[in-house]
Amino acid sequence: MTRILFVCLGNICRSPTAEAAMRRLVQARGLQGSVEVDSAGTGNWHVGESPDERATATARRRGLTLDGRARQVSAEDFERFDLILAMDGSNANDLRRLAPDEKSAGKVRLLREFEPDAVDASGRSEAEGGGDLDVPDPYFGGSDGFERVIDLVTAACEGVLDSLGLQAGTRR
């Protein structure tokens, strides 16, 4: 079983959207039982709240279901999850600071590192001065931002699954 945690700031927009996109892809690829997903936030402002209504409505129109309640990342998450995927560089930095040790910090990656189109033509990642790997926060913008988030996280989640090399019915 590969366990993946998606993390944004408040766990009401981007990370629940990524979680829902991954759930759909896992089901479409027949990988239920091989991949477990969850989401959380680095901040505590929205703990216990449902996902943002605009994110939920946009996701519903695209065939995704956002459910669950916002929660904050905990120390146990670094033990429980194999891969902790941050939505942006700020979230990744916060997660690395929260990590209890170097091995745990090594589980933190930017989600869009797995999206081939997010790397610039020279093959350089954002960390190497290349493409932008942040999933932009749509919270203070219009509905088009929520649409863009779905497109970005879906493409990146496909890349995550491809990188795991799992086949339907296999367990890792």
Catalytic residues: 8, 14, 137
Amino acid at position 98, single letter:
L
Contact predicate 152/159, CB 8 Å:
no
Q: What is the dihedral of CA 81, 161, 132, 129, to 10 degrees?
A: 80
3-class secondary structure, 85: strand
E-assigned strand segments in 10-158: 35-41, 83-86, 108-110
Measured CA to CA, the distance from residue 30 to residue 170 in angstroms comes to 9
SS3 110: strand
Helix and strand counts by DSSP (H, E) for the chain: 6, 4
